[in-house]
Amino acid sequence: MKIGFYPGCSLTGSSREYNESVAMVAKALDIELVEIKDWNCCGATAAHSMNEELSLSLPARIMAMAEEQGLTEVVVPCAACYNRLKVTQNELEDEQKRARVVDILKQPYKGNLKIINVLQLLEAYGTENIKAKVIQPFTHKVACYYGCLLVRPQSILKFDRVEDPQSMDSLIKVIGGTTMDWAFKTECCGGGFSVSRTDLVAKLSGNILKDASDRGAEALIVACPMCQSNLDMRRGAINKTLETPIDIPVIYITQAIGLALGIGAKELGLKRHFVTVEL
Amino acid sequence: MSKIGVFICHCGENISATVDVERVAREIGEMEGVAYASDYKYMCSDPGQTRIKEAIKKYDLDGVVVGACSPRMHEPTFRKACAEAGLNSYLCEMANLREHCSWVHEKGEETTEKAIDLVKMLVEKVKKDKPLQSIKVPVTKKALVIGGGIAGIQASLDIANTGHQVILIEKDPSIGGHMSQLSETFPTLDCSQCILTPRMVEVAQHPNIKLYTYAELESLEGFIGNFTAKIRLKAKSVNYSTCTGCGACIQKCPVKKIPSEFNAGLGTRTAIYVPFPQAVPNKPVIDRANCNYYKRGACKICEKTCQVGAIEWDKEDEIVSEQVGAVVLATGFDVKGTDFFPEYGYGKFKDVLTGLQFERLASASGPTLGEIRRPSDGVIPKKIVFIACAGSRDPAKGIPYCSKICCMYTAKHAMLYQHKVHDGESTVFYMDIRAGGKNYEEFVRRAIEEDTVNYIRGRVARVYEKDGKLIVKGVDTLLGGEQVEIEADMVVLATAGIASCGSEQLAQKLHVSYDPYHFFAEAHPKLKPVETNTAGIFLAGACQAPKDIPETVGMASGAAVKVAALFSKEELIREPIVAVVNRLAPPLYSTCVGCFMCETACPYNAIEHEEIKGRDGSLIRTIARINEGLCQGCGTCVAFCRSKSIDIQGYTNEEVYAEVMSLLND
Amino acid sequence: MHCYQCGKCTAGCVLASEMNFPPSYLMRLLQTGTKENYDKILKSNSIWLCLNCENCVGRCPMEIDIPKMMDYLRTQSLKENKQHPDSKPIVAFHRSFLDSIKYTGRLYEVGLIAAFKARTFRFTQDLTIAPGMYLRGKLPLFPEKINDRRIMKRIFAQTIENVKTDTK
């Protein structure tokens, strides 16, 4: 199957391993990813915090380019970009706002693109298909961390249960892993404050890691490059705030599935993590 | 030649300030057929009415028009006056010169001319009016009470004590309802079962009450004073005339792990069971869905144990038909379960409970015999957090209303906990305290001041479990929004009160209105709280809206009085403003062709089929007949009838046409 | 108007303890409708600390869109030039981020960090992380540029650069 693909700035920069693992898993599952031509940054937190029209125009251009390319469905692995695109699409159902954005872009915008995140893609592909291709069962006990942007706002995203989502957990179970019930599945990791307020990221991400670690998780599974970066790259800062430093790794869902499908650790980008991954 | 009397009222200044009433009387007096016309300050008063009566006798009037206020105010007054003077009341009409004229227009020539037109219309109508007789409908002096909780029990006892027969049906195996599940009641902390069970026994022993438990209403047909109720007696599998209530079968039943409904899911029961030890009737039923015999044909231990052979395996549901004159709905309410709350765990935390489940823990007849213990490990909790407004006042969750009783029962729960666990710590997270009843405010203050319950104003964002404790993340808004985190051993949610399961279907069976939350609709929110818009069906208790026990008992007695008032007459008098299908001499019998379009149109199911038979008994034709007991005179059938065979008495085609033409022929 | 001060938003807000005014208190200030209180909000650090994690609106019984309000208040705070001094690094980060994508269309991390340090004088921040990132191949030295850079210029000119700031 063929599907549109929007990597976003993180995947081509500081979260390269996510891009690599998505590409590897897609290949193994016979999914062709068609990258949107000349895509731009979605604006992330900065745009919507500073100016509404900017925050709508940037994602609108991405969707307009995808439509122009003839794509009907686009998978967005980065949870933040996914959230921005979906929310913008919803906002632009307002005719006035849409007219204004089309005027700025000078490009037609239909707004009927189907935007999905990487978990929805894997679910749509069919958990049975993935199960059939598992070579090396992922026999680990892990905590699935969804972060805030994958499931909220529920009225727009309409994806999974908002307080205790299960989609990632189901995928882990399919590849042979054990998941656990824990308390910080959707609490924010600190998001965009990685650089400007590293102390807050340390506190928030620290809480998440501590709860997972207390309950015996061998690793954290994520689907958002921001969360991964906060929990992994900033581990030094986090450990400074904790009594006992925690060393459990944080990997992407696509990396976990990739491992189960027999793809090598290097190809999946596991060597690029700050906290050593030995799974 | 008609001899109509016209009386124009000044209504104090209400009409005369805007309309030239003397001119109206004068000009109408010159109309053909009007024998007498006058005006007076207050027609509805005693002297006013006397004027009408005297005029009728003196001028031998055969019709009366009163130009005054709205018929909704005084039509009965003037009709009664006419009847007393010997004139058929339905030959008296009112022209609304107040709500339709003087109150909505400025003083002036045109207003007076409108008033004249209005009176003229009614005069032309009265010329065509025929005398009508009230319809008399017999009344069956037996009441049906649906629901055996405190509302149903109170209503049944009150009606029975007036000397009338009552049939009380209850869908559970025992009466008692939610009140029997409570441990103590606010504000007196009376033991709930102690005050309830004497009444339950009184119901069972009352000579005027026939009690059907494990029974539901199958259908209700008919109209006020004349209902036919079909009641489904669900098969109990136990013969109550033989059963002695010894309880040996319950002890021997091997299926012991069914979650007990009476204990709100906290305890277990057997397949053959009595819901609680003080049940009335105190005899068991078999839960066929869980009984090994009905599932797989095995076991039959209860039959072997029973000394008197009371088990009836092959008993089927029985439908019993009863004739009743009035129905009282007392089906009560339910509460939302913990699974309704994603932020409080979707119901997966064993130690997060509803208020009703907490009642069962606190109750001496409960699964822990009155000791507050955690369902997960049986340990007595040292810290309990009570969350008020769980689900209520929450438009996002679809329940915008307040469930009324939770503030009070939360305070009660906290107090009971403090009384039982002296070193326990209880915290209540609230938004407001609604303690409006008698002694209610003092009760809540007692909880705070004497029993040291910690009240924090703010809501709880989420509850999660860690290391066997429940972490509660709340806030204190009175401190400017300071976050409060408590490691509790148990969390009790005061969940929203909702309409009891099956309310919508029941309302539809009875043709009773209900609101978007499936609570039954009262006829008027202020002045008719115990009546519905369906004549003969009354409401009592929480099935109308969440409420506490004193209000429920009050309402139940109110409904009982309405029923008693209904039964105090031998016959019901109904206005003859009903539709009638014409009848002619044979061989035509009627212009009705039997198409029954009227039947499809009638909102009150008032159209019946009448078979016209020849002398030899053979069927000639089937034509429509209006049931005058059910007909409300809406006129829809008249509009539908293609052969113009139906007409409304008191508003016939001829009469209305005369009114309209009097305006146009000016 | 809908807010009845239940506090559920504050109870679930991960950063409420760091804020001058937690979300429910902020709503109350808005409800009073006075200029004084509105100013307090614009000058607070709450609006810049809010991460838009949407925990609040997800639980609010009245479904009040607090994150959207925060976005609006942020824009107003910029327009009236009333940011809380503690929030300067956060605003600086957002500005640096947007500057980066304005010219290339895609985020250039090195450029972002450089601009951020220039604005905040935090020259030594993250110096220890940078080599780690570079060695792991996560820090491209050169920016990725999209083809249609004119559209980025146009978008910025028409939106964020079109807002008149009141300097008071």
Task: Give the closest of B394, B396, B475 to C10, CB-based.
Answer: B475
State the average pLDDT over residues B553-578: 93
Average pLDDT value for residue range C154-158? 89
**Rounded alpha-carbon distances, angstroms, from residue B489 to B317, B361, B376, B424, B470:** 46, 15, 10, 10, 6
The tens digit of pLDDT for each residue in C8-22 reads: 999 999 999 999 999
The pLDDT tens digits for A133-143 are 899 999 999 99
- Regarding whether C125 and C90 lie in a shared domain, the answer is yes
Euclidean distance between CA atoms B78 and B61, whole angstroms: 14
Beta bridge partners, A220, equal: A143, A250
Whether the pLDDT of residue B575 is over 90: the answer is: no
pLDDT mean over B433-462 = 95
The radius of gyration of chain B's CA atoms, rounded to the nearest angstrom, is: 32
Q: Are residues C15 and C55 in the same domain?
A: yes
The total of structural domains in chain C comes to 2
State whether C22 and C79 are in the same domain.
yes
Residue B76 contacts residue B114 (beta carbons within 8 Å): no
CATH number for the domain formed by residue range(s) A133-272? 3.40.50.11810
As a CATH number, domain B4-132 is 3.40.50
Domain boundary among C67, C83, C99: C83
Query: Which tokens belong to B474?
Result: 């709340």
- Residues A165, B490, B435, B403, CA torsion sign: positive
* Option in B342, B348, B466 nearest A183 (CB): B466
Q: Is the whole-model pTM more than 0.95?
A: no
B666 has a pLDDT exceeding 70: no
Task: Say if C15 falls within a structural domain.
Answer: yes
Q: State the Cα–Cα distance between residues C30 and A225, nearest whole angstrom.
A: 35
The confidence score (pLDDT) of residue B90 equals 94
Question: Which residue in chain B is spatially nearest to A186 when comparing CA positions?
Answer: B343
pLDDT, chain A, mean = 91
Q: Kindly indicate the confidence band of residue C167, based on its pLDDT and cuts at 50, 70 and 90.
A: very low
Whether C123 and C145 share a structural domain: yes
Residues A188, C55: C-beta atoms closer than 8 Å: yes
Tell whether the model's pLDDT for residue B352 goes beyond 60. yes
Query: Residue range B193-199: average pLDDT?
Result: 94
How far apart are alpha carbons B571 and B447 in whole angstroms? 54
What band does A279 get if pLDDT is binned at 50, 70 and 90? confident
Q: Domain residues of chain A, as ranges?
A: 2-118, 133-272
Q: With contacts defined as CB-CB under 8 Å, which chain A residues touch B348?
A: 181
Q: Mind listing the pLDDT tens digit for each residue in B48-97? A: 999 999 999 999 999 999 999 999 889 999 999 999 999 999 999 999 99
To the nearest whole Å, the CA of C49 is away from the closest chain B CA by 16
Nearest to C95 by CA among B561, B466, B123, A51: A51
CATH number 3.50.50.60 is the correct assignment for the domain at B335-498: yes
Per-residue burial over B77-99, b = 16 or more CB atoms within 10 Å of its CB, e = otherwise: bbbebbeebebbbbbbbbbbbbe
Using CA atoms, how far apart are residues B663 and B660, in angstroms rounded to an integer? 5
Helix (H, G, I), strand (E, B) or coil at A162: coil
- B561 exposed, middle or buried (CB, 10 Å; 0-12, 13-18, 19+)? middle
Residue B534 in this model has a pLDDT that exceeds 90? no
Higher-pLDDT residue of B113, C110: B113
How many A×C Cβ pairs under 8 Å?
157
Question: Rounded distance, CA B553 to CA B93, Å?
Answer: 43
Structural contact between residues C27 and C5, judged by C-beta atoms closer than 8 angstroms: yes
CATH number belonging to the domain at A2-118, selected among 1.20.1050.140, 3.50.50.60, 1.10.10.60, 3.20.20.70: 1.20.1050.140
Give the nearest chain A residue to B343 (CA atoms): A163
Amino acid at B197: T
Cβ atoms of A206 and A127 closer than 8 Å: no
Of A168-177, A215-224, C119-128, minimum mean pLDDT range: C119-128
Of all residues in chain C, the percent with pLDDT exceeding 90 is 51
Compute the C-alpha angle C122/C127/C132, nearest 5°.
150
Cα A185 to Cα A142: distance, rounded to the nearest angstrom: 12
Mean local confidence (pLDDT), B214-228: 92
Quick one: tokens of B107?
């003083």
Q: For the segment C22-39, what is each residue's pLDDT rounded down to a tens digit?
A: 999 999 999 999 999 999
Residue C168 lies in a domain: no
pLDDT in tens, C71-89: 999 999 999 988 899 889 9
Chains in contact with chain A (at least 3 beta-carbon pairs closer than 8 A): B, C
Q: How far is residue B64's CA from residue C102's CA, in Å, rounded to a whole number?
A: 89
Rounded to the nearest 5°, which phi and psi values hold at B660? -65, -45
Percent of chain B with pLDDT over 90: 89
Straight-line distance from the first to the last Cα atom of chain A, in angstroms, rounded to the nearest whole number: 30
Tokens of B536: 């003969």
Which residue among A40, A45, A106 places its CB closest to the CB of C105?
A40
Please determine, for the modelled complex, whether the ipTM score is greater than 0.95: no
Q: What mean pLDDT is predicted for residues B295-305?
A: 91
Q: Out of C64, C83, C102, pick the residue that ends a domain.
A: C83
- For the cut 90, the answer to whether the pLDDT of residue A210 exceeds it is yes
- Identify the pLDDT of residue C124: 80
B471 touches chain A (CB under 8 A): yes
Range(s) of the domain holding residue C18: 8-83
For residues C16 and C13, what is the distance between their CA atoms, to the nearest angstrom? Answer: 5
| CA–CA gap between residue B355 and residue B546 (Å, rounded) | 14
Label residue B202 exposed, middle or buried (CB < 10 Å: 0-12, 13-18, 19+).
Answer: middle
What is the rounded average pLDDT for all residues in chain B? 93
Nearest CA in chain B to A165: B342
Contact across the interface for B458 and C12, Cβ inside 8 Å = no
Q: Mutate which of B430, B477, B482, B491 to disrupt the C interface (most C C-beta within 10 Å)?
A: B477
Q: For chain A, say whether B342 makes contact (Cβ under 8 Å).
A: yes
Asked whether residue C133 is domain-assigned, the answer is yes
Ramachandran category for residue C66: left, alpha or beta (phi over 0 → left; psi -120 to 50 → alpha): alpha
What's the token pair of residue B420? 């039982």
What local confidence, expressed as pLDDT, does residue B73 receive?
85
Per-residue pLDDT of B594-609, as tens digits, reads 999 999 888 878 899 9
Other Cβ atoms less than 10 A from the Cβ of A154: the count is: 16
- What per-residue confidence (pLDDT) applies to C168? 37
- Kindly state whether residue C150 falls inside one of the protein's structural domains: yes
Fold classification of B142-332+514-567 is FAD/NAD(P)-binding domain (3.50.50)
Count Cβ–Cβ pairs < 8 Å, chain B vs chain C: 76
Tell me if domain B335-498 and domain B579-648 are identical in fold.
no
Q: Do A188 and A152 touch, CB atoms closer than 8 A?
A: no
C59, C83, C107 — which closes off a domain? C83
> CATH code for B579-648?
3.30.70.3270
